[in-house]
A and B are shown apart, each in its own frame.
Chain A
Amino acid sequence: MILVTGGAGFIGANFVLDWLRLNDEPILNLDKLTYAGNLENLASLQGDPRHVFVQGDIGDRALVGRLLAEQRPRAIVNFAAESHVDRSIHGPEDFIQTNIVGAFHLLEEARGYWMSLSDADKAGFRFLHVSTDEVYGSLGPDDAPFTEKTPFAPNSPYSASKASSDHLVRAYHHTYGLPTLTTNCSNNYGPYQFPEKLIPLMILNATKGKPLPIYGDGMNVRDWLYVTDHCSAIRAVLDQGRPGETYNVGGWNEMPNLVIVKTLCALLDEMLPTSPLTPHASRLTFVKDRPGHDRRYAIDASKIHRELGWKPAETFETGIRKTVRWYLDNMQWVENVASGAYRKWLDTNYTTR
């Protein structure tokens, strides 16, 4: 049994689904079901005894302590986090609470539980913290990609909160000996991503004939990691990673936002040849850049390749094609997550620009 937190969110749900597709070790899934958590992502696991779902907060120490005592997991994989940079700009509080204070409480309960284990179980236990490459800050066009040794320089409340929890995780290893692992990944994309993020938002807007807003000049560069690859990287780190280490996870796909959106539009033109909205790229509109918008992230993921033999299976071309296909095939899912609250949020972010 492993405990996965945030397992109803985008990356967490993909991780849970992949995990249970690949092996029979049960998952205890703790998720608060905020706006980004969606049990519909896990609908295929209905009635599957290998999946135990609990709605709750990683910061609820009584609950977490009780769950650990009941289920006795051999590992914790912490996906639970507020993750959307724009939201962290409008309201950083939730980010501090969940990403820092919540992670601290989870670490404390994990430490207490870990201390109670037998020596053999103690040695085998892992606390894997899933983080982001945004903790490293921003790069100029010619700077070398982030390595695990790059000093932290977070620029948004979101990345600052993640950097903070990364430090706590590191401290729990060095101070208490908790066998921790940290992964810092680049931008994820793929099925089940909440349509506030670039790729699903653009697919959704394009298929509805809505404008396709691009921040600034659209030349902000990100590395793109297909979510399934991210999940396989986490499994590799969980299996073979050295306690106390951090591992960068990247897709080896640096791409400006504008190219992403144009690629999406071309794929939509191809997959929806009879759509009256073709060419989809005709609705590209440039909007004022967001504050603190990092210019470029690039990640050097050679350590995980060198030490654990992991490399992504998807290229950007194959990954983005799968993603567009998935969203077109799952429009009902998209409709269902496009709740009133979500639309209201989109309004405050984009109508004033």
Chain B
Amino acid sequence: MKTILITGGAGYIGSHACVEFLQAGYDVVVLDNLCNSSPESLRRVRELTGLDFPFVEGDIRDRALLDRLFCDHDIDAVIHFAGLKAVGESVEKPLLYYGNNIAGSVTLFDAMQAAGVKTIVFSSSATVYGDPASVPIREDFPVGGTTNPYGASKLFIERILQDVAIADSAWSIALLRYFNPVGAHRSGRIGEDPRGIPNNLMPYISQVAVGRREHLNVFGDDYPTPDGTGVRDYIHVVDLAQGHVKAVEKLAEGPGVRIWNLGAGRGYSVVEMVKAFAQASGRPVPYRFAPRRAGDIAQCWADPAKAERELGWKARFGLEDMCADTWRWQSMNPNGYERNVA
């Protein structure tokens, strides 16, 4: 296991994964169509690691490009991040999401099969569990009941990979179900750079703190949780990225499909996050309560025991680090990558 193809490697989690794989001694090739990311992130990955790697600008739906890529590079494993990820947008544009995420993934897997590359780590999501009745969530919980095309696309791709493994037992497949990735690299050089209005809590909070937005809307203050606001499992993106390195190491042990939750194993409420962020940033984070959002669940956190047992991986960074690192990134790059190309 030496050369890793990282699809979507210029994105938020992808760029952090590049850093961790490079630092762990792997050779990395990045494929990204830059539809929702900036090549600046890759420049900064090179700067942070002092290591160079090839970048192929292109789309996973472009079969010819994939064939060329697998021909040009001797890829041992693929880390598949490439995909669209905005839940709300996916409801408005289901064909865009299914086309990108599912058709794109099928094209990628087919090109891998043709090239004889049969090791893949897939970037899945806790959304595949739908609305769990109990927490913490274990990997053996039933999946399904996703409420939007984004979630459905993750669920379907998991299923496709499981079917691929049934048909061809040579595949080594890891399905990593992420909880809520937050934070940024400690250097403050790479981080999450959403275009437009952020869909996720943490970038929204940090944009409020930096003054880009007036206040945060907290959707629902009447959930059956300690303070009435939704509780989620937040996982530092560097921990998450390291989970991928561990997963690739584990896949080297043999074929099959393996599923791991990547979460911290504890939940924080929206209000707890806001308070922690205000503390870490020294900035006020004004918020207002708004009605619940359709499809949001009260609470969700991982049972990360399987990942700890099998991968020797567990989240190391706590809430303070998540907030401090997010704030460092946000304050050093108030407008993300685009307008700060130094």
Residues of chain A having any CB pair with chain B under 8 Å:
28, 49, 52, 54-56, 63, 66-67, 69-72
Contacts and interface: CB of A to CB of B under 8 A. Distances in A.
Contacts of B140: 72
Contact of A52 (B135, B142, B224): B135
B132 interface: yes
8 contacts: A52-B135, A52-B136, A66-B132, A66-B142, A69-B142, A70-B138, A70-B141, A71-B134
Contacts of B136: 49, 52
B142 A70 contact: yes
B95 interface: no
Contacts of A66: 132-133, 142
Contacts of B142: 66, 69-70
The B interface, classified by DSSP as helix, strand, loop or mixed, is loop
Contacts of A71: 134
Contacts of B135: 52
A1 to B, nearest CB: 10
A52 B135 CA distance: 7
A63 B133 contact: yes
Contacts of A63: 133
A70 B132 contact: yes
Contacts of A28: 134
A70 B134 contact: yes
B133 A55 contact: no
Interface string B196-227: 00000000000000000000000000001000
B129 to A, nearest CB: 9
B72 to A, nearest CB: 45
B338 to A, nearest CB: 43
A70 B143 CA distance: 9
A67 B303 CA distance: 15
B215 to A, nearest CB: 31
Given A54-B133, A70-B133, 7 more contacts: A49-B303, A54-B134, A56-B133, A63-B133, A67-B134, A70-B137, A72-B140
Contacts of B137: 70
B181 to A, nearest CB: 23
B115 to A, nearest CB: 39
5 A-B pairs with the lowest CB-CB distances in the bound complex, closest first: A66-B133, A67-B133, A70-B141, A69-B142, A54-B134
A71 to B, nearest CB: 6
Nearest to B137: A70
Contacts of A55: 224
B64 to A, nearest CB: 44
Chain A CB within 10 Å, residue with most, of B132, B134, B135, B224: B134
B268 to A, nearest CB: 14
A214 to B, nearest CB: 40
Nearest to B265: A49
B269 to A, nearest CB: 16
Nearest to A29: B134
Contacts of A52: 134-136
Interface in B122-149: 132-138, 140-142
Nearest to A65: B133
A69 B138 CA distance: 12
Nearest to A68: B133
Most chain A Cβ neighbours within 10 Å, of B133, B134, B224, B303:
B133
Nearest to A47: B266
Nearest to A55: B224
A86 B288 CA distance: 45
Contacts of B132: 66, 70
A121 to B, nearest CB: 14
A209 to B, nearest CB: 37
Interface in B89-145: 132-138, 140-142
Nearest to A28: B134
B46 to A, nearest CB: 42
A138 B137 CA distance: 48
B88 to A, nearest CB: 26
Contacts of A67: 133-134
Contacts of B133: 54, 56, 63, 66-67, 70
A52 B134 CA distance: 7
Contacts of A54: 133-134
Contacts of A56: 133
A253 to B, nearest CB: 39
A181 B157 CA distance: 44
A63 B224 CA distance: 15
B230 to A, nearest CB: 15
Interface in B161-193: none
A49 B303 CA distance: 9
Contacts of B141: 69-70
